[in-house]
Amino acid sequence: MKLAGGCACQQIRYKLLADPMIVHACHCRDCQRITGSAFVINMWIERKFVETDGAAPKSSRLKGGTGQNHDVFFCDACGTYLWSFYHGAPGDALFVRAGTLDKPEAVAPDVHIFTRSKVPWLTLPKDAPAFKTFYPIEKIWAKESLERLKQNVAERKGSRTRKSRSG
Ligand SMILES: [Zn+2]
Ligand SMILES: [Zn+2]
């Protein structure tokens, strides 16, 4: 699967160099507000696998529901939100909005989260894993994705150590 996408004005284009580790449908109030919709579809993928060309997205910092910072990245020209960086999430990864893909039908949510604030008119598929808040990663993720996450967490720690040494 080769996934590519961009913002509404196409000033920012991106490619994903790997499949997402997992795809979330998040029904939390923050995601509802940021998207102006019922939920967001986020592809959780290592930052190094998100390749942009053209303009770099701008970002703003929000307080996440967990109390940890949440950076949202958007196109300066058209305002489309492309992805998020959650400071509290393990690893060095981005949550890329699947609605910005050229072919959004290429992915489907693996898990629905924060369904405690799901809009009542929306019925989820019966067999879809769904959680009132977050969920135990090791119970839901494929083995291969768990391996990638482990490596990604190690890489983030490594880059922090390097930064503190040089700074
Ligand atoms: Zn744009
Ligand atoms: Zn959310």
pLDDT of 32-62, one tens digit each? 999 999 999 999 999 999 999 878 899 999 9
Q: What is the dihedral of CA 5, 8, 12, 13, to 10 degrees?
A: 20
**Alpha carbon 145 to chain centroid distance?**
14
CB-facing half-sphere around the CA of 135: CA atoms within 13 A: 20
d(CA 15, CA 161): 29
Other CB atoms closer than 10 Å to residue 114's CB: what's the count?
23
- Site of tokens 């609605």: 99
Q: What is the pTM of this model?
A: 0.92
d(CA 154, CA 130): 29
Q: How far is the CA of 141 from the centre of ligand 2 (A)?
A: 18
Q: How far is the CA of 167 from the centre of ligand 2 (A)?
A: 34
**More confident site: 35 or 1:** 35
